[in-house]
Structure 1
Amino acid sequence: MVGYSVKLSSRKAVDVKASRMIRWERENSKLHLQRTHGTAGYREKLEFATNFADEISQGLLFEMADKIPLLAEIIRIGSLMDFQDAAIEYSLKSKNLQLFPEDEAFLDTTSLGDSKSC
C-alpha cells in the first residue's frame, strides 16, 4: 500500500492511496494476487487486468523493454475478455500476431486453459 498527498496551486490537497494487486517473483516462479471482496465493477476489472498485464509482460520481457507495451495490451484485453478463444484470436489478428503451437500447449496445461471456451 502506498499513499501520497499532492498540493494543488489552489492550495487544496489531493490524497491518493494505491495498493499493489499483483506481484510476480520471477526468481521463485511465484505469482501473488491480492484477493478482492465482493463483485468487481468495471473499474476494478480494468485495474486488475492492467496490473496483471503489466506484471506478466514485465516479468516475461524484462530484457526486451520495447516489447512490453504490446504484450501488456494483448494480456489486458485477454483478461478483460476472460481469455475466451475467439476474443484472443481476434485481438491477435488485429495486431497481425498468432500463437505458436507450443504457446497453445502451454496454455492448455495452465489454469488459463481451463477458462477458455470453445
Structure 2
Amino acid sequence: MWDRTANETGWTALLGERRGGPDVPAYAAPARAEDLTGLPPAFLDVGSAETFRDEVVAYASRIWQAGGVAELHVWPGGFHGFDGFAPQAALSQTARAAQLGWLRRLLAV
C-alpha cells in the first residue's frame, strides 16, 4: 500500500522543489499552519499501522488546542487505505459507519 517512498513521490509531485522546505503553503500541508483557529469541524481517521498515524493524531491535538472541533478515530491494525482495500472487513465497515455517522450529525440529517 502507501509507504514512505510513495509518500515522498506524492509530495514531490504536488510541491516540486518546495517539498520539505519553508515555502510549503498551508493549503498543501495543513499541519504546517501555525494558527488552526477558525477551522470547520474535522473528521480524522487513521489506522494504527498507517504511515501518517502520528501526524494525524498530532493534527487533531492541535485543532483541539486551538479551540476547534475534531473527531479522531485510530483504527486498530488499519493501514493506509484499509477500508478501500478490504471494504467487507468488519473494521472497514465500522470505519465507514463512523464517517457516515459524523456527516449525518454534522449536517443534521
What is the TM-score when the length of structure 1 is the normalising length? 0.28
Q: Which has the larger radius of gyration?
A: 1
- Which structure has more RCO (C-alpha within 8 Å, separation ≥ 6)? 2
What is the TM-score when the length of structure 2 is the normalising length? 0.29
Name whichever structure is richer in strand by fraction.
Answer: 1
